[in-house]
Structure 1
């Protein structure tokens, strides 16, 4: 199956001011998680994000000019899980949602999250090992 959702875990080495859409924001240095979906080609979307010669089609393209992808988690699945994942992570105390970043086509505050506490890494990787299409990630993070 070559469709599904994905997470990019990125390191932003230094603070940067970015404009995305009609908004602009100062992004603190540190780790971020981006959640996306690719219902036509999951591998194609990941290759797009990894390419250094991409056109700025999505908000994340601008962010990736200044950050490094450190981990990619692909979730092959017929269901688009982007909204469920984003809404669940909005409640996580170790994360801060970047409002309006991505998410223009779903009902969440944003698809990009700043990791406020690095202990979240062990928690998210444990959850991702266990998650299934019909599970609630928020319940597992609790």
Structure 2
């Protein structure tokens, strides 16, 4: 796997309400949620694996918006799609996804409306297309693509 990049976490829920820090109480409809994040700092894409482990063990205090979903038993970590890049491209990917979103989620450090998107059906192909549209190669965590 490459050291740094941008990732999209795919989570699934049967529906629930979650209190998410300063965003307060949010109603999440049943379906899939895509969170777009960057991993450009120290540790790089290890952050994606941290999220996966966090979702599995649900044993830490939430720090970021996405953590509030990862620790909930109502949310299942399904997969992650990522791309290798040392550039800030998460907002471009989020811009390509659009559609139904949770306002102000995960985007406190940019001018995007959201970095969390709702889909009724499994969105992996849509995410791959959103990444390809900006000239990047998508990879999935489940495929364990190390090329």
Shorter-chain TM-score: what band? 0.7 to 0.9
TM superposition shift of 1:16: 1.2
**Is 1:63–2:69 an aligned residue pair?**
yes
1:76-126, CA deviations, whole angstroms, 9 ceiling, x for partnerless residues? Answer: 101011111112222xxxx3010011100011111100004x275444335
Give the match for residue 74 of structure 1.
82
TM-score, scaled relative to structure 1: 0.77
* Stretch moving more, 14-23 or 101-110: 14-23
TM-score, scaled relative to structure 2: 0.75
- Please list every run of 5 or more consecutive structure 2 residues that lacks an aligned counterpart in the other structure: 137-147
Give the match for residue 97 of structure 2.
89
2:116 to 112, 115, 133: 112
Runs of 4 or more, structure 1, over 3 Å off, are 119-131
- Please list every run of 5 or more consecutive structure 1 residues that lacks an aligned counterpart in the other structure: 134-142
TM superposition shift of 1:21: 2.7
- RMSD (Å) for aligned C-alpha atoms: 2.1
